Amino acid sequence: MKHLFISLTIITMTSVSALAGVVDTTATDTVVDVERPHRIVITERSDNSMNVDVNGCGNSKNFRYSYSTKQSPASASSAIDGDNDYTIPFFSSLSASKSSTTKGVRVEWFESLGMHFGFTHMSGASDACNMGNSIELGFLKPISMAVVFPHSWRISTGVGFGWKNYRLNNNLHFTKDDSGLLSLAGYEVDTYNHLSRLKIFYLDVPVMLKKSFSKLSVCTGAVLNFNVYGSILTRFSKNEMEFKTCDEGVNQQKVTVDLMAAVQFFDIGLYVKYSPCNVLKSNNIPKFRSFSVGFALGI
């Protein structure tokens, strides 16, 4: 190419476009046309400044031209460090960077919903549980805040909610005595269409650490659960009649902790949760802990 529309000009115009709203749009453009430059050196410094040096022009070895510009912290952070989080548009539309600080650290509000759906299990009473029909559904942090660090690290917390539904196998059902304690019992003979489940509704406060690798991300953390409601439901049929009992106040632990980990491609992935705490208070039967595995969106 006989004439090189100098890289300096391209960089200058690109900087003007990237810094729209910062550069006065009424300013006169500066165009430097250098024919056959010998060498172009572009330097980005830690203070967010950028310098372009042109050495030599055509037959002149003594030609020198230098240009310097200062980038805004936001654009410099994006250009150098990069935020490699990929989000589904629905979730990213709820995200907003509220503040920026030096070194590329910033705070985001409403950065993800943390929707998750999976199958839960009664760890410690596996023979009693039907995991295929025991379901967990929740939103980990519809109200959330994240501190984003360079190199695609972030720590997030928030407030969410969900429920876990533990369903027993077809041979057992929950019962509640006069003192309010739960236990397990078998069905009467000549009954069918058996269903018995324990439901726990909770509010949660997660603390999650996340690392992104281009399109892939991994996260781990702990979830503090406030188990605000519990109930049992038992239903069966006998002599062509349907019987159903429902009781509230199941003596669930008021506060439990889940350990959680997830792997995501873009914002879609798999998660696992395990609670080292018993779901029910002591003296209730069965004694079990919660284990869940399933699908996640935007944790």
Q: Give pTM, 2 decimals.
A: 0.65
Structure confidence at residue 35 as a pLDDT band (50, 70, 90): confident
Q: Are residues 125 and 270 in the same domain?
A: yes
Q: Are residues 269 and 226 in the same domain?
A: yes
Q: Are residues 66 and 192 in the same domain?
A: no
Q: What is the pLDDT of residues 168-201, one digit of tens each?
A: 988 899 988 888 888 899 998 888 889 999 999 9
Task: Give me the pLDDT at residue 59, please.
Answer: 77
Looking up tokens 């324990």 gives 198
Which range is least confidently modeled, 45-59, 70-84, 129-143, 150-164?
70-84
Q: Are residues 147 and 234 in the same domain?
A: yes
Structure confidence at residue 73 as a pLDDT band (50, 70, 90): low
Q: Which of 23, 45, 77 is the last residue of a domain?
A: 77
Task: Give me the pLDDT at residue 268, please.
Answer: 93
> 183 near 284, Cβ under 8 Å?
yes
Structure confidence at residue 256 as a pLDDT band (50, 70, 90): very high
Q: Are residues 133 and 263 in the same domain?
A: yes
Task: Give me the pLDDT at residue 249, please.
Answer: 85
Domain count, the chain: 2
